[in-house]
Amino acid sequence: MNTPDDVPPLSEDFAVRLDLTPGWVDLTLPDRSKAAAKALATETADRLDPLSPEIGKSAVRDDLADRALGLNEDAPVLAAAYYAESGEALVDLVVDSYGDEGVPRPTAEEVVPLLLEWENGVVAGEPEVTSLQLSAGPATRIRATLKIRRMLGLGRRTVEFVRYAVFPPGMRSLVVVTATWEKIGLTEENAQRVDEIVASLRLGLVDENGDDIV
């Protein structure tokens, strides 16, 4: 059994694993380059093979590349998106880890206002807050509506989101999963899609070579 002194420091490296069911695609870019995004988009578009005549494979390929670059802008641990059979992207998802050396990670109560903070928007209405147990550890889940400022401050657009803060036992990092979508009419379906794959979230410590630490 680990004691506090046995817990790895915040420089700990860990692998995030999600069971990406059909429709979900991994868009993580380790080097965040346009070349890497283009290569990933080409490979993924061939697998998706969109069914909609209005959405050609080239359009899906361009969307994948742009989306991968956007989702990886802040170097998340993992980035993914859900695509409908038509080739339309419905949900964006990123996994990040947070923590300061020597500063305890926030408690489940303290993390709620942090999860409601957005750089370019504000939460509208009363958020839905739930505590639950994942295979990766205890978690706080928030579902809410976000009003995001448009370019040049001209109006706002509405986005739905689900955010999880996961407290992995034996680690000092706080892991946050954020999923967003704009089609409000698909909120229930998209929330369910997110909840299903987050339930499969697994975290494992790895060494400098990326190998699992047993």
Q: Quick: pLDDT tens for 162-206.
A: 999 999 988 888 999 999 999 999 999 999 999 999 999 998 766
Q: Which of 28-37, 41-50, 131-140, 181-190 is predicted least confidently?
A: 41-50
Q: Which residues of 105-119 are buried (b: 16+ CB within 10 A; e: fewer)?
A: bbeeeebbeebeebe
Q: pTM of the predicted model, to two decimals?
A: 0.87
Per the CB < 8 A criterion, the answer to whether 197 and 19 are in contact is yes
- What is the C-alpha separation between 2 and 7, in angstroms, rounded? 7
What the block records as the tokens of 63 is: 């969307």
Closest CA to 38 of 62, 22, 72: 62
Query: Is 205 or 62 the better-scoring residue by pLDDT?
Result: 62
Average pLDDT of the chain to the nearest whole number: 86
pLDDT at residue 136 above 90?
A: yes
Q: How far is CA 4 from the centre of its chain?
A: 29
